[in-house]
Chains A and B, each alone.
Chain A
Amino acid sequence: MEPILQVNHLSVSFDTYAGKVEAVRDISFNLQPGETLALVGESGCGKSVTCRTIMRLLARNANIDQGSVLFRGDDLLKKSNREMRAIRGGKIAMIFQDPMTSLDPTMQIGRQIAEAVTLHSRVSRRDAKKRAVQLLHQVGIENPEKRYRQYPHEFSGGQRQRIVIAIALAANPDILIADEPTTALDVTMQAQILDLIKEIQKATGTSVIFITHDLGVVANVADRVAVMYAGRIIEIGTADEVFYDPRHPYTWGLLASMPTLATDSETLYAIPGTPPTLIHPAPGDAFAPRNAYALEADRIADPPLFPVSATHLAATWLLDPRAPQVQPPESIRLRAEEYRQKQSAKGASL
């Protein structure tokens, strides 16, 4: 199938007084129609910048240094502002992290949804309102007709995120970008919002780019996962491949630091050290200084993305044929083991 979105060799930097911040460095990925791609990684690794580049919503001090973003074959980076406005919200919609501040406090929430409807289709006021009420109903707001006229402060955080989702759905977008849509919510709310997004995706067939730094959330929603570190994609593959057969030591660290039912919080692992500065980043694998498995080569040259399978790539010199054989840590081997057992059990029962 033709991908709906192709990001090719994209690099984005910011001019700051301290120097040029290389926030996104030569990343490439595809998004297939109807799939959910998760972008994961620690804070500051460039997830939001990647998505804002796709939306062309970057801050004024940003430079797109190279690359292209093809939406149905058209380069979004070459579009005029006017063309971009039709795409934003119309073809590609975005949900932000903090529902408490994402809605205009002085405007009825229904009108904020209706506004999104009228921006992208020629409909009468009444029809826009009808559609807004229907959207409110679709995202699970009870009593939509009455609540249409209420203001954001009259809703809880979870409800506000539902309203933001309703705004995003207003024009039936082809792609929904959700930038940490559940981070600001409590756990039960998180689950509900995730379910809602999955439900919507099933009903409408939109593609979703789901940003998070919580791998537990990813396991729940993603078809494919891209792991970012210091502005690069260091591993990308199907959710199963990344969760059960990870190859990059950073992915190992992320998975090991993910709480499971078996671990208790006291023994929870944390990757030592902090992410590197993105002003004149050093050559080589940016993760090397924090990486117990780092090879000499990792400190000298950028590792390319080595193919592990047709769908699975990882950027570490460990995958080079000349590299010594390294065993992943035990917890990761156990995951793979467990998975294989589950799969074979499944196969046997079929």
Chain B
Amino acid sequence: MKRWTKYIGTRLFYMALTLFIITSATFFLMNALPGTPYNNQDRLTQVQLDMLNKKYGFDQPLMQRYVNYLGNVLHGDFGVSLQFSDQPVATLLGQRIGPSIQLGLQAVAFGTVIGVFLGVIAAMHQNRALDVFCSLFAITGRSVPNFVVAVLLQFIFAVTLKWLPIGLWDEGFRSTILPTLALSISPMAESCRFIRTEMVEVLSSDYIELARAKGMSEIRIAFTHGLRNGLIPLITVLGPMTVSLMTGSLVVENIFAIPGIGEQFTKSILSNDYYTIMAVTILFSALLVSVIFLTDILYQIIDPRVRIEGAK
């Protein structure tokens, strides 16, 4: 137990350090970008510019602003958005992160379950018709952009069949179905391909042969001994995949008119919205770092071989 505490303590320290470095690097890089956050800067006089800079504190030396910013962030103050009439960034993101996270999680969960299932079936029928079918599906899924799928789904299920809403975020779960499906194509294809490769190897290992010699059926072998071992490495790719989906997809969110965060990030970069860029970056990094941390913990729980020394 003590080892666990120490292990987690060390990991948390490095996570904080990572976030600090990312935050600092982004801060300085961002300030090196050309232009100002004011969208009508060409028409501003020098006097007006000076006034605005003074208002937002941009007249101070860079180092001073950096220290101030860090201090504010530590107190939970992420500044105000320059493009959305001085609204606090935290409020803005808070309103929009919900849908993105929900869609991301749903897409990963659905995509992975289906993908893993297809991957196992493919591996069990290696180089036969079902395998070829699953592989074709995986290749298609990986090469067709998700917005194409999104438009297609929208056309079939919303426009033609009228089963589901065409967009917006106002019908609860029903609103999430089509965007979730569109976003789930990539985790589905990715995990199908990944699990197939992994399972082909696992299914040829000695302990699977022993399971056969015990008298177990192929399907039971694949989904117990096979999957237990094949799934472990998937955890590693699943983490980052989840984060990239949770942080929103600009195009899919646009197609379905979803008030998500993907759109906001892109806009904030284009318009030099300093505090929004910083906040979104910190948020993404924090998510990623935490997911990697959770992945490692999960690994240790699932795989008895990598449990930390002496942590029995």
Give the interface of A toward B (CB within 8 A). Answer: 55, 57, 85-90, 93-94, 96, 98, 101-107, 115-116, 119-120, 151, 153, 164, 167-168, 170
Q: What residues of chain A lie closer than 8 Å to B212, measured between beta carbons?
A: 57, 88
Name, among B206, B209, B225, the residue most crowded by chain A CB atoms within 10 Å (CB to CB): B206
* In the bound complex, CA of A105 to CA of B211 (Å): 13
Shortest CB–CB separation between residue B227 and chain A, in angstroms?
A: 10
Residue of B206, B214, B217, B303 touching A98 (CB-CB under 8 A)? B206
> Whole-angstrom distance between the alpha carbons of A189 and B213 in the complex?
24
Contacts A101-B205, A101-B207, A151-B305 given; indicate if A89 touches B217 (C-beta within 8 A): no
Whole-angstrom distance between the Cβ of B236 and the nearest chain A Cβ: 15
B93 contacts the other chain (CB 8 A):
no
Q: Is B172 an interface residue (CB 8 A)?
A: no
Question: Within the complex, what minimum Cβ distance (angstroms) separates B199 from chain A?
Answer: 14
Kindly list chain B residues whose C-beta atoms are within 8 Å of the C-beta of A164: 210
Could you pull out 11 A-B pairs where Cβ atoms are within 8 angstroms? Answer: A57-B209, A57-B213, A86-B215, A88-B212, A96-B206, A102-B207, A106-B228, A107-B228, A115-B214, A119-B215, A151-B304
* Bound complex: CA A90 to CA B214 (Å): 7
By beta carbon, the residue of chain A nearest B205 is A101
A17 to chain B, nearest CB (A): 14
With A96-B209, A104-B229 as contacts: A153 and B305 at CB distance below 8 Å: yes
Task: Identify the interface centre among B206, B211, B213, B228: most chain A CB within 10 Å of its CB.
Answer: B213
CA of A167 to CA of B216, assembled, Å: 13
Chain A residues, Cβ within 8 Å of B232:
106
Known contacts A104-B225, A106-B232; can you find 13 more A-B pairs with CB under 8 A? A86-B215, A101-B205, A102-B207, A103-B207, A103-B210, A104-B228, A104-B229, A106-B302, A115-B216, A116-B215, A119-B215, A120-B215, A153-B305
Q: Which residues of B contact A102 (CB under 8 A)?
A: 206-207, 209-210
Residues of A within 8 Å of B207, CB to CB, are 101-105
Given contacts A104-B225, A104-B228, contact A85 B216 (CB under 8 A): yes
* Count of chain B residues near A, Cβ 8 A: 20
Q: Which residues of A contact B209 (CB under 8 A)?
A: 57, 96, 102
B-side interface residues toward A, CB under 8 Å?
205-207, 209-217, 225, 228-229, 232, 302-305
Residues in B neighbouring A168, C-beta threshold 8 A: 213
Closest chain A residue to B305 by CB distance?
A153
Q: How many A-B residue pairs have CB under 8 A?
A: 70
Q: Considering only CB atoms, which chain A residue lies closest to B218 in the complex? A: A81
Q: Which of the residues A86, A87, A106, A151 comes within 8 Å of B229, measured between beta carbons? A: A106
Contacts of A151 in B (CB 8 A): 304-305
> Most chain-B Cβ atoms within 10 A of its Cβ — which of A96, A105, A120?
A105
**Max chain B Cβ within 10 angstroms of own Cβ: one of A55, A89, A93, A164:** A89
Known: A106-B302, A151-B305. A88 touches B214 (CB 8 A): yes
Identify the 4 closest CB pairs spanning chains A and B, nearest first: A89-B215, A151-B304, A101-B206, A89-B214
A90 to B215, Cβ gap below 8 A?
yes
Least CB distance from B195 to A in Å reads 15
For A107, list chain B residues within 8 Å (CB).
Answer: 225, 228
- Contact in complex: B304, A153 (CB < 8 Å): yes
Give A123 to B228 CA distance when docked, in angstroms: 24
Kindly state the separation between the CA atoms of A98 and B229 in the bound complex, as whole angstroms. Answer: 19
Max chain A CB contacts within 10 Å: which of B211, B212, B215, B217? Answer: B215
Q: A85-B215, A89-B215 are in contact. Are A105 and B210 (CB under 8 A)?
A: no
With A and B bound together, what is the CA distance between A48 and B217 in angstroms? 22
Which chain A residues lie closer than 8 Å to B216 at the CB level?
Answer: 85, 115, 119
